[in-house]
Protein backbone atom coordinates (compact mmCIF):
# COMPACT_ATOMS: atom_id res chain seq x y z
CA UNK A 1 0.00 0.00 0.00
CA UNK A 2 1.44 3.40 -0.93
CA UNK A 3 1.83 6.22 1.65
CA UNK A 4 -1.24 8.15 0.46
CA UNK A 5 -3.41 5.04 0.75
CA UNK A 6 -2.02 4.35 4.21
CA UNK A 7 -2.82 7.91 5.26
CA UNK A 8 -6.40 7.70 3.98
CA UNK A 9 -6.90 4.28 5.56
CA UNK A 10 -5.49 5.43 8.90
CA UNK A 11 -7.70 8.52 9.05
CA UNK A 12 -10.80 6.63 7.84
CA UNK A 13 -10.40 3.72 10.25
CA UNK A 14 -9.56 6.05 13.13
CA UNK A 15 -12.64 8.13 12.28
CA UNK A 16 -14.80 5.01 12.29
CA UNK A 17 -13.31 3.99 15.65
CA UNK A 18 -13.85 7.45 17.20
CA UNK A 19 -17.42 7.68 15.95
CA UNK A 20 -18.28 4.14 17.06
CA UNK A 21 -16.77 4.81 20.47
CA UNK A 22 -18.66 8.10 20.81
CA UNK A 23 -21.92 6.48 19.72
CA UNK A 24 -21.61 3.57 22.13
CA UNK A 25 -20.60 5.81 25.03
CA UNK A 26 -23.12 8.59 24.51
CA UNK A 27 -26.09 6.72 23.04
CA UNK A 28 -25.97 3.42 24.92
CA UNK A 29 -24.05 4.02 28.11
CA UNK A 30 -24.61 7.68 29.04
CA UNK A 31 -27.74 8.80 27.15
CA UNK A 32 -29.86 8.92 30.32
CA UNK A 33 -27.31 11.26 31.96
CA UNK A 34 -27.70 13.67 29.05
CA UNK A 35 -31.47 13.49 28.66
CA UNK A 36 -32.20 13.69 32.40
CA UNK A 37 -29.87 16.65 32.85
CA UNK A 38 -31.31 18.53 29.90
CA UNK A 39 -34.83 17.80 31.17
CA UNK A 40 -33.88 19.20 34.60
CA UNK A 41 -32.83 22.40 32.82
CA UNK A 42 -36.15 22.59 30.99
CA UNK A 43 -34.45 21.72 27.70
CA UNK A 44 -34.74 18.92 25.20
CA UNK A 45 -31.53 17.02 24.50
CA UNK A 46 -30.52 17.82 20.89
CA UNK A 47 -30.66 14.50 19.06
CA UNK A 48 -31.96 15.41 15.60
CA UNK A 49 -30.13 13.97 12.58
CA UNK A 50 -28.37 17.30 12.03
CA UNK A 51 -26.87 16.97 15.54
CA UNK A 52 -25.68 13.48 14.71
CA UNK A 53 -24.06 14.77 11.52
CA UNK A 54 -22.23 17.47 13.47
CA UNK A 55 -20.85 14.82 15.85
CA UNK A 56 -19.90 12.60 12.89
CA UNK A 57 -17.88 15.48 11.45
CA UNK A 58 -16.36 16.10 14.92
CA UNK A 59 -15.32 12.43 15.04
CA UNK A 60 -13.53 12.55 11.70
CA UNK A 61 -11.86 15.85 12.59
CA UNK A 62 -10.71 14.23 15.81
CA UNK A 63 -9.30 11.36 13.74
CA UNK A 64 -7.50 13.84 11.51
CA UNK A 65 -6.01 15.54 14.58
CA UNK A 66 -4.88 12.16 15.93
CA UNK A 67 -3.25 11.33 12.62
CA UNK A 68 -1.47 14.68 12.26
CA UNK A 69 -0.19 14.72 15.84
CA UNK A 70 0.93 11.09 15.52
CA UNK A 71 3.39 12.17 12.84
CA UNK A 72 5.45 14.00 15.52
CA UNK A 73 4.74 12.13 18.74
CA UNK A 74 4.41 8.58 20.00
CA UNK A 75 1.10 6.85 20.73
CA UNK A 76 0.75 7.92 24.37
CA UNK A 77 1.82 11.51 23.74
CA UNK A 78 -0.50 11.74 20.72
CA UNK A 79 -3.42 10.35 22.71
CA UNK A 80 -2.88 12.77 25.60
CA UNK A 81 -2.38 15.85 23.41
CA UNK A 82 -5.43 15.09 21.28
CA UNK A 83 -7.51 14.20 24.32
CA UNK A 84 -6.68 17.60 25.83
CA UNK A 85 -7.47 19.36 22.54
CA UNK A 86 -10.75 17.60 21.89
CA UNK A 87 -12.30 16.33 25.09
CA UNK A 88 -11.00 18.59 27.84
CA UNK A 89 -11.71 21.74 25.86
CA UNK A 90 -15.19 20.49 24.90
CA UNK A 91 -16.03 19.63 28.53
CA UNK A 92 -14.80 23.04 29.72
CA UNK A 93 -17.15 24.74 27.27
CA UNK A 94 -20.09 22.42 27.97
CA UNK A 95 -19.49 22.76 31.71
CA UNK A 96 -19.31 26.53 31.41
CA UNK A 97 -22.69 26.46 29.66
CA UNK A 98 -24.03 24.32 32.55
CA UNK A 99 -25.17 21.53 30.23
CA UNK A 100 -22.60 18.95 31.37
CA UNK A 101 -24.39 16.33 33.49
CA UNK A 102 -23.07 15.66 36.98
CA UNK A 103 -21.38 12.28 37.27
CA UNK A 104 -20.85 11.89 33.53
CA UNK A 105 -17.10 12.51 33.64
CA UNK A 106 -16.53 9.53 35.93
CA UNK A 107 -17.34 7.35 32.91
CA UNK A 108 -16.41 9.69 30.08
CA UNK A 109 -12.84 10.48 31.14
CA UNK A 110 -11.44 6.93 31.14
CA UNK A 111 -13.46 5.89 28.09
CA UNK A 112 -12.41 8.96 26.10
CA UNK A 113 -8.77 8.44 27.08
CA UNK A 114 -9.08 4.87 25.79
CA UNK A 115 -10.73 6.19 22.62
CA UNK A 116 -7.81 8.57 22.02
CA UNK A 117 -5.22 5.92 22.83
CA UNK A 118 -6.69 3.37 20.44
CA UNK A 119 -7.11 6.05 17.76
CA UNK A 120 -3.47 7.06 18.08
CA UNK A 121 -2.40 3.41 17.90
CA UNK A 122 -4.48 2.88 14.75
CA UNK A 123 -2.80 5.87 13.11
CA UNK A 124 0.70 4.70 13.99
CA UNK A 125 -0.01 1.08 13.00
CA UNK A 126 -1.66 1.80 9.64
CA UNK A 127 0.61 4.67 8.64
CA UNK A 128 3.93 4.25 10.45
CA UNK A 129 6.15 7.30 10.64
CA UNK A 130 9.19 6.89 8.41
CA UNK A 131 12.38 8.82 8.89
Q: 131 lies in a domain? A: no
Look at the chain and report how many structural domains it folds into: 1
- Structural domain contains residue 71: yes
Q: C-alpha angle with apex 86: 81 to 87, nearest 5 degrees? A: 100
10-residue stretch averages of pLDDT, the chain, 131 residues long: 94 98 95 96 95 97 98 98 96 95 95 98 94 65
pLDDT of residue 1: 84
C-alpha angle 84-37-104 in degrees, rounded to nearest 5:
35
Q: Do 62 and 74 meet the contact criterion of CB atoms below 8 Å apart?
A: no
The pLDDT value given to residue 131: 65
Residue 31 domain flag: yes
Closest CA to 6 of 90, 52, 58, 70: 70
Q: Say if 29 falls within a structural domain.
A: yes
Print the domain residue range for 87.
Answer: 3-126
Considering the domain boundaries, does residue 21 fall inside one? yes
Could you write out the DSSP letters of every residue in 33-44? HHHHHHHHTT--
| Helix or strand run (H / E) with residue 50 | helix 49-70
Task: Identify whether 73 is part of a domain.
Answer: yes
pTM for the complete prediction? 0.93
Amino acid sequence: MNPASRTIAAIALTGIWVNASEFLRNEWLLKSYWTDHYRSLGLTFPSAPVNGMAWLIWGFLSALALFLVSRRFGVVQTALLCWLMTFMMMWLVVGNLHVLPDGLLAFAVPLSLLESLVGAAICRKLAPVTA
